[in-house]
Chains A and B, each alone.
Chain A
Amino acid sequence: MKILRLWEHYLPRFLHGTLITLELTAAALALAVALGFLTALARMSRQGLLRGVASTYIEIIRATPVLVLIILAYYGLPQAGIVLPGFVAASGVLGIFYATIYGEIFRGGIEGVGRGQTEAAQALGLTPSTTMRRVILPQTVTTILPPATNAAADLVKDTSLVVTIAVADLMYHAYGAASTTFLPMDMFALAGILYFLICYLLSHVLRRWEFAYAQRH
């Protein structure tokens, strides 16, 4: 089969691109989770100003296409004197964008834990941070994991947008191979398979974890 021999030839550089895709995902996900958690706390804050800033941030970011944000960060920021390497610009933008999504996921999870839990913890003298860490967050795991898994799979796919700023990810190599071989369908099919495998494994692992967690409690 010709296509298999072709794939075999291109596989090493595709795998290298896959590695970059995974690195982008990991960096963006770490930022999205950390910033998302802070966003969730800000949205639930008693301080009106903080709540306002957080919801304005969410509205603006979510109403703008990620692609536009990536291009602005990579080509626009240098005009303001800020030059970012492609990887940094891309993972930064994806992290900031997905922070709005993770923020809402966290907020939903935290608000889903009954008020009585916080009160019981407070009445025992637990500090707010201990309450969050030992009482509230552990109870959000089962509600947060399914949407968080879906969002992570979306993030994997959205990393392919970095092809526009020449970060050598999986999509970048697919484009390259497509134009040198004049066999775009074969090459994008291979890329598609690799994206599918990443997302499938990611969901599978997280679902196993979720299931194990639910079993224990």
Chain B
Amino acid sequence: MPNATETGREPAIAVRGLCKRFAKQSVLEDVTLDIQPGEVVAVIGPSGAGKSTLLRCVNYLQPFESGRIDVLGHRLTGTREAEYRRPPHATLVEIRTHIGMVFQTFNLFPHLTVLQNITLAPTEVLHRPRAEAEATAMELLGRVGLRDKASAYPRRLSGGQQQRVAICRALAMQPQVMLFDEPTSMLDPELVGDVLAVIRELAEEGMTMLLATHEMSFARDVADTVVFMAERRIVERGPAREVLTSPREPRTRSFLRRVLLQEGDDAPDAPPAADSEAVRS
């Protein structure tokens, strides 16, 4: 896969100096990150690092105080910035229709069938004719192997099936970017694979993705870039394989060691002797 960061195109998402607080507690500090069209960026890091908050700022589910985010031709500005203007409703709708989001807890609409979950936004927001929206939905369901569940209600589905429906719901808007917030962390281990397979397929099709995850081997295989976040900041970012197998920062290394031990996967390689900082830790 060509490295999208080297194509020199305008980034799909450019986050600059993002700061976010909840009441007095700072949650994101000076986060800067580019995501190129077609790039898959995996955000890893301990719980509470601010991964979800970062994702939620990108589609403005969460307003932020300072910095800016340029996303698909629109600029979101921190509320404390001089040039801050509350984003007009149309802008938010435009951004959100082009960015699909998949949540840790699926958040399917329990009162709607699988098919209705998927067709709701295309019919209400994009004003697609019902028949067309349903045809698209069935096609998407076919791709994730859930065609036969179209008329089921979400509570009748397993977590893995619900998450695949949630992915279809987001894809039905034909987004240019997908945000995944730990899409498999609520799933029983045996259901994780089906969901990851769907995400992997999307990545192979060239979808631009920002993905918070704790699946390290998945991040290594699928992501172009890995971003390690800890304590409100980006600690390290780089090509996926590099960050995950020979991290530069000691904090990344200790995090990976902890996670990979739990996962029973290979621990990161021993740091090269030439890296004096790495040797010290």
Measured in the bound complex, the distance between the Cα atoms of B122 and A125 in whole Å is: 10
The answer to the question of B185 belonging to the interface, with a C-beta cut-off of 8 Å to chain A, is no
The answer to the question of A127 belonging to the interface, with a C-beta cut-off of 8 Å to chain B, is yes
The answer to the question of B218 belonging to the interface, with a C-beta cut-off of 8 Å to chain A, is no
Query: B103 near A125 (CB under 8 angstroms)?
Result: no
How many whole Å from A21's CB to the nearest CB in chain B?
35
Contact with A along B33-57 (1 / 0, CB 8 A): 0000000000000000000000010
Binds B, one of A25-33, A90-98, A115-123, A155-163: A115-123
Chain B residues, Cβ within 8 Å of A139? 109-111
Binds B, one of A130-138, A167-175, A193-201: A130-138
Measured in the bound complex, the distance between the Cα atoms of B105 and A139 in whole Å is: 17
In B58-100, the 8 Å CB interface with A consists of: 59, 61, 89, 92-94, 96-97, 99-100
Query: B107 near A217 (CB under 8 angstroms)?
Result: no
Chain B residues, Cβ within 8 Å of A130? 124-125
How many whole Å from B50's CB to the nearest CB in chain A?
17
Query: B110 near A217 (CB under 8 angstroms)?
Result: yes
How many whole Å from A132's CB to the nearest CB in chain B?
12
Query: A138 near B111 (CB under 8 angstroms)?
Result: yes
Which one of B56, B96, B105 lies within 8 Å of A125 (CB-CB)?
B96
Query: A122 near B61 (CB under 8 angstroms)?
Result: yes
| Dominant secondary structure of chain A at its interface with chain B | helix
What residue of chain B has the Cβ atom nearest to residue A133's Cβ?
A: B124
Measured in the bound complex, the distance between the Cα atoms of B89 and A116 in whole Å is: 20
Query: A120 near B124 (CB under 8 angstroms)?
Result: no
Which one of B92, B97, B109, B111 lies within 8 Å of A120 (CB-CB)?
B109
Query: B61 near A123 (CB under 8 angstroms)?
Result: yes
In B91-149, the 8 Å CB interface with A consists of: 92-94, 96-97, 99-101, 103, 105, 107-111, 120-121, 124-125
A120-B93 contact given A125-B125, A126-B125, CB 8 Å threshold:
no
The answer to the question of A80 belonging to the interface, with a C-beta cut-off of 8 Å to chain B, is no
Measured in the bound complex, the distance between the Cα atoms of B89 and A126 in whole Å is: 10
A134-B107 contact given A122-B96, A125-B173, CB 8 Å threshold:
no
Query: B110 near A123 (CB under 8 angstroms)?
Result: no
What residue of chain A has the Cβ atom nearest to residue B56's Cβ?
A: A119
The answer to the question of B170 belonging to the interface, with a C-beta cut-off of 8 Å to chain A, is yes
Query: B61 near A124 (CB under 8 angstroms)?
Result: no
What residue of chain A has the Cβ atom nearest to residue B116's Cβ?
A: A134
Chain B residues, Cβ within 8 Å of A135? 109, 120
Query: A124 near B103 (CB under 8 angstroms)?
Result: no
Which one of A117, A127, A138 lies within 8 Å of B107 (CB-CB)?
A117
A-B contact pairs, 22 of them (CB 8 A): A114-B107, A116-B103, A116-B105, A116-B107, A119-B61, A119-B103, A120-B109, A122-B61, A122-B96, A123-B59, A123-B170, A124-B97, A124-B120, A125-B93, A125-B94, A125-B96, A125-B173, A126-B125, A130-B124, A134-B124, A139-B109, A217-B110
Measured CB to CB, the residues of B under 8 A from A are 56, 59, 61, 89, 92-94, 96-97, 99-101, 103, 105, 107-111, 120-121, 124-125, 153, 166, 169-170, 173
